[in-house]
Chains A and B, each alone.
Chain A
Amino acid sequence: MSQALRRGGGGRLARRIDGDVAGLLALLAVVVALFGVAAPGFLSLGVFTSVAFQLPELGLLSLAMLMPIISGGFNLAITFTANLSGLAMAYVLQSHGGADAGLGAFVAGVLAALGTGAFVGWLMGAVIAYTGAHPILVSLSAMIFVRGLGEFLTRGGDISGVPGTVQAIGQGTVGGVPAPLLVLAAAVLLWSVILSRSRLGFATRMIGSNIEATRFSGVPTRRSLTLIYTLSGLMCGVAGIVMLARFNSVRVGHGESYLLITVLACFLGRVDPFGGFGRVLPVAIALVILQVIASGLNQLGANQHLSTALWGGFLLLIMVVRSVWAGGFVQVMFGRR
């Protein structure tokens, strides 16, 4: 029996699983080809570099959203948790000389960011697991709490000025590859292993399908749920660090518009909206597709606000094509579960 099949796919057939990835790759190819023809200069290194630098923020936040969704929940607090984490790091750096802060402060800052994210996630997870309140409700409350806290601490302004070592995470390259992309790749790999191979990943899928039956089988559902949201918060912390490094500043509300796009990326990446099924790789491909569309529209020279509308329209078009063409290969690509 194929390992990939049983691990990630749960109850579906092997060709169907590979179909998920193949279908999304095909869609990516179509999108790239389309913009390649429509927008001269789209197939340039510059565009791909811009994609590579912009993708990680959305990608890291999508990973933060992914595990709660597979567990049958949601984390609506991801963007503000990332802000708060960035803030924690900025504070540590500021108090150690701002732009001149040393390596020790850098490490402390990273730990502060990760710790802040993980704590917010843990808090949410514990409330969800032990009160049984709906994740949407809990994470929405947490979002308001975190945003308010962040606005209070920053007085609504932004904090800027980070040392070059930090900026390198957001703006530098390693062997020609943008550093934030490497961070995302590492995160994707880590999440992939956790979801497909660890006990927690197993529990996440089971809880997403039927938490009561999972509990009856002796799986520690409360501990698992708490851990799922803690990891989600931790990933927000990573996103917060990357955002701080890229913009050399942190402001509460930055990246707010990413929230629903992360949900979209998950669903486009074949994650079951009702929980229980989902893999990291298809979501990663879906992210690339979304980012390529956004950059492509930019390249076409569309007005910035109009391009947002076009982006949404393009996504609607994908859904329509998916449904109209629901047969044969396309069924395999996008067919409803």
Chain B
Amino acid sequence: MLQLDRISKRFGGVKALDDVRFDIRRGEVLCLAGENGCGKSTLIKIISGVHRPEPGAVMLFDGRSIEGLDPAAARALGIQVIWQDLALFPEMTVAENIAFESNLGARPRLVRYGRMRAAAARILGRLGVGLDLDAPLRTLPIAQRQVVAVARALVTEATLVFMDEPTASLSQAETDALLAIVRRLSAEGIAVVFVSHRLAEVLEVCSRVTVLRDGRLVGTFPTEGMTQTRLTELMTGKTFDYAVQTRDLSGAPVVLSVEGLSRAPGYADVSLTIRRGEIVGLTGRLGSGRTELALSLFGMAPASAGTVTLEGRPVRFASNREAIRAGVAYVSEDRLQLGLVQPQSISDNTAMAVLDSLLGPGGLVSARRQDALVHAWIRDLGVKAGHPGHAVSTLSGGNQQRIVLAKWLATRPKLLILDSPTVGVDVGARAGIFAIVHRLAGAGMAILLISDEIPEVYFNADRILHMRDGRIVGAYVPGETGIDAIEEAVHA
């Protein structure tokens, strides 16, 4: 249906795309894979008419040349892009968001609510989802907003839909529901191009994957027979050592011991231990109580029953300050809202949790000590940061996560809780994050690794605990139990 060849694009002196070939068939689900900055977004923008390719490019739609494509023409061809930020209107209702475009250019210039509702209802029916048409969008969870964005793309006759990181903030169950919708579109003959960092779902839903690296086409491959490991290698050009790395630490001293811990709602009767240098994986779907458990250990959600013992001493934290002082650190799953103060500087974010130790004369924060601390951590964790005075939001996801780690490591924790530490982090950068985690464990830190991506815990943890409906329902040792068996147990 769509064929592109010899696509190049320069921005100033930077070649964002270099001689790329791309094609997609009607009704096909294709994945566009590559690390951040590989040219995915540029390619999408060329296809949706936002950018023009350099002269010499060939662009064919159903065999006809579509050179000089602009956004309006792209829309007329049925090419729709759902960007990661969705670009919806939070204060408007579901129906208004979906059918918004049908109002543009209408004469007379009146908003026809009846018609909008009908159009919205029809599309949601086509997708097989029931949503309250009159609910303001802001009241909807992110997964349902995603559905609204898909529905909006279909309000005009769509032939090709791009989805940029649609599952980045969805739980497994929600992802499954979205993938079902993608299959439905495909069955209707609508081609879908899927951009995702989550390789498991890429391999599950797509028939082919086009891999870009540094603006060049690596190739287009059928997903049949493709493995995550192979795909990662294609995307990064590096070989990663994906091997189970469990160690027997049963002789090491216990750092954290939890007995019969309960909190309603959230979790009940949770018992676990983590030893010095041990990485314990905790997996389970969103809503299984894993984050609530983590917050209790971090002193931000008091438990109603049970005991927590840290290095042999029973503890009961009244606040996260007490937990931090006792040696507990918590890397939140929500880096944007809770992990970092995004508009503030890299330096201040790094120093935030240990300000008390940076005081100089007169009880004032010593700039010299802060600089020293920040530079040491930036170097130690290999953060690629332009200037420590820049806003932390200017960093990539992987580098932001390193700053979060730096902030917590500066507190010298005994127990490090990592809640979904690779959300929104590139495949290549993930390996870097886990290299740090393994180094910390090697130095004796006890680590609780929470993730709903089974491979992540499987290849990084010494033991895996499975949580469901607030209870620990399974314990596995990677290697002894196969990854497929664990996947099945968790997602069943």
Interface residues of A (CB under 8 A from B): 1-3, 5-7, 9-14, 193, 197-199, 202, 205-206, 209-210, 212-220, 276-277
Q: Are B365 and A198 in contact (CB-based, < 8 A)? A: yes
Q: Are A218 and B324 in contact (CB-based, < 8 A)? A: yes
A91 and B180 alpha carbons, distance in the complex (Å)? 76
Residue of A nearest to B408 (CB): A217
B359 at the interface (CB under 8 A from A): yes
Q: Which residues of A contact B392 (CB under 8 A)?
A: 11
11 further A-B contacts with Cβ under 8 Å, apart from A206-B352, A276-B343, are A1-B347, A6-B370, A14-B389, A199-B359, A206-B344, A209-B341, A209-B343, A210-B337, A210-B341, A216-B338, A217-B407
A6 and B365 alpha carbons, distance in the complex (Å)? 12
Q: What distance in Å separates the Cβ of A247 from its nearest Cβ neighbour in chain B?
A: 36
Which of B337, B371, B391, B407 is in CB contact (< 8 Å) with A10?
B391
Q: Are B320 and A12 in contact (CB-based, < 8 A)? A: no
Q: Are B345 and A202 in contact (CB-based, < 8 A)? A: no
Q: Which of B327-355 contact A (CB under 8 A)?
A: 330, 332, 337-345, 347-348, 352-353, 355
Q: Are B365 and A218 in contact (CB-based, < 8 A)? A: no
Q: Are B355 and A199 in contact (CB-based, < 8 A)? A: yes
Q: Which residues of A contact B106 (CB under 8 A)?
A: none
Q: Are B320 and A6 in contact (CB-based, < 8 A)? A: no
A6 and B388 alpha carbons, distance in the complex (Å)? 8
Q: Are B359 and A10 in contact (CB-based, < 8 A)? A: no
Q: Are A6 and B344 in contact (CB-based, < 8 A)? A: no
Which of A3, A210, A212 is in CB contact (< 8 Å) with B367?
A3
Q: Are B355 and A1 in contact (CB-based, < 8 A)? A: no
Q: Which residues of B contact A276 (CB under 8 A)?
A: 341, 343-344
Which of A2, A10, A202, A219 is in CB contact (< 8 Å) with B365?
A202
Whether A206 contacts B341 in the complex (CB less than 8 A), given A6-B347, A199-B355, comes out as: yes
A209 and B342 alpha carbons, distance in the complex (Å)? 8
Listed by A's residue number, 12 A-B pairs whose Cβ atoms lie within 8 Å are A1-B347, A1-B388, A5-B389, A10-B344, A197-B364, A199-B359, A216-B338, A218-B324, A218-B352, A218-B353, A219-B355, A276-B343
A277 and B407 alpha carbons, distance in the complex (Å)? 21
A277 and B345 alpha carbons, distance in the complex (Å)? 11
Q: Which residues of B contact A3 (CB under 8 A)?
A: 367
Which of A1, A14, A216 is in CB contact (< 8 Å) with B332?
A216
Q: Are A198 and B344 in contact (CB-based, < 8 A)? A: no
Q: Which residues of B contact A11 (CB under 8 A)?
A: 343-345, 389-394
B363 at the interface (CB under 8 A from A): yes
B321 at the interface (CB under 8 A from A): yes
Q: Which residues of A contact B370 (CB under 8 A)?
A: 6
Q: What distance in Å separates the Cβ of A241 from its nearest Cβ neighbour in chain B?
A: 26
B313 at the interface (CB under 8 A from A): no
B238 at the interface (CB under 8 A from A): no
Q: Which residues of B contact A5 (CB under 8 A)?
A: 389
Q: Are A212 and B365 in contact (CB-based, < 8 A)? A: no
Q: What distance in Å separates the Cβ of A234 from its nearest Cβ neighbour in chain B?
A: 18
Q: Which residues of A contact B359 (CB under 8 A)?
A: 199
Whether A198 contacts B339 in the complex (CB less than 8 A), given A1-B371, A10-B345, A218-B324, comes out as: no
Q: Are B345 and A199 in contact (CB-based, < 8 A)? A: no
Residue of B nearest to A4 (CB): B367
Q: Are B330 and A216 in contact (CB-based, < 8 A)? A: yes
Q: Are B363 and A213 in contact (CB-based, < 8 A)? A: no
Whether A216 contacts B344 in the complex (CB less than 8 A), given A9-B389, A206-B352, comes out as: no
Which of A13, A198, A215, A218 is in CB contact (< 8 Å) with B389?
A13
Whether A213 contacts B341 in the complex (CB less than 8 A), given A1-B371, A198-B363, A205-B348, comes out as: yes
Residue of B nearest to A11 (CB): B391
B356 at the interface (CB under 8 A from A): yes
Which of B332, B343, B348 is in CB contact (< 8 Å) with A6?
B348
A276 and B393 alpha carbons, distance in the complex (Å)? 14
Q: Are A10 and B348 in contact (CB-based, < 8 A)? A: yes
Q: Are B389 and A6 in contact (CB-based, < 8 A)? A: yes
Q: Are B363 and A212 in contact (CB-based, < 8 A)? A: no
Q: Which residues of B contact A2 (CB under 8 A)?
A: 389
B387 at the interface (CB under 8 A from A): yes
Q: Which residues of B contact A213 (CB under 8 A)?
A: 337-342
Residue of B nearest to A193 (CB): B364
Q: Which residues of A contact B300 (CB under 8 A)?
A: 216
A159 and B273 alpha carbons, distance in the complex (Å)? 70
Q: Which of B430-461 contact A (CB under 8 A)?
A: none
A205 and B341 alpha carbons, distance in the complex (Å)? 10
A199 and B355 alpha carbons, distance in the complex (Å)? 7
Q: Which residues of B contact A197 (CB under 8 A)?
A: 364-365, 367
B6-50 interface code vs A (CB 8 A; 1 in, 0 out): 000000000000000000000000000000000000000000000
A6 and B369 alpha carbons, distance in the complex (Å)? 13
Q: Which residues of B contact A198 (CB under 8 A)?
A: 363-365
Q: Which residues of B contact A209 (CB under 8 A)?
A: 341-344
Residue of B nearest to A2 (CB): B389
Residue of B nearest to A199 (CB): B355
Q: What distance in Å separates the Cβ of B17 from its nearest Cβ neighbour in chain A?
A: 30
A215 and B300 alpha carbons, distance in the complex (Å)? 10
Q: Which residues of A contact B387 (CB under 8 A)?
A: 1, 13
Q: Are A205 and B367 in contact (CB-based, < 8 A)? A: no
B377-398 interface code vs A (CB 8 A; 1 in, 0 out): 0000000000111111110000
Q: Which residues of A contact B347 (CB under 8 A)?
A: 1, 6
Q: Which residues of A contact B339 (CB under 8 A)?
A: 213, 216
Q: Are B345 and A6 in contact (CB-based, < 8 A)? A: yes
A210 and B355 alpha carbons, distance in the complex (Å)? 17
Q: Are B324 and A210 in contact (CB-based, < 8 A)? A: no
A216 and B356 alpha carbons, distance in the complex (Å)? 16
Q: Are A202 and B321 in contact (CB-based, < 8 A)? A: no
Whether A214 contacts B352 in the complex (CB less than 8 A), given A199-B359, A202-B365, A220-B321, comes out as: yes
Q: Are B352 and A219 in contact (CB-based, < 8 A)? A: yes
Q: What distance in Å separates the Cβ of A12 from its nearest Cβ neighbour in chain B?
A: 7
Residue of B nearest to A214 (CB): B341
A308 and B83 alpha carbons, distance in the complex (Å)? 49
Q: Are B320 and A218 in contact (CB-based, < 8 A)? A: yes
Q: Which residues of A contact B367 (CB under 8 A)?
A: 3, 6-7, 197
In the complex, the 5 A-B pairs of residues with the closest C-beta atoms, listed nearest first: A11-B391, A197-B364, A218-B324, A3-B367, A217-B352
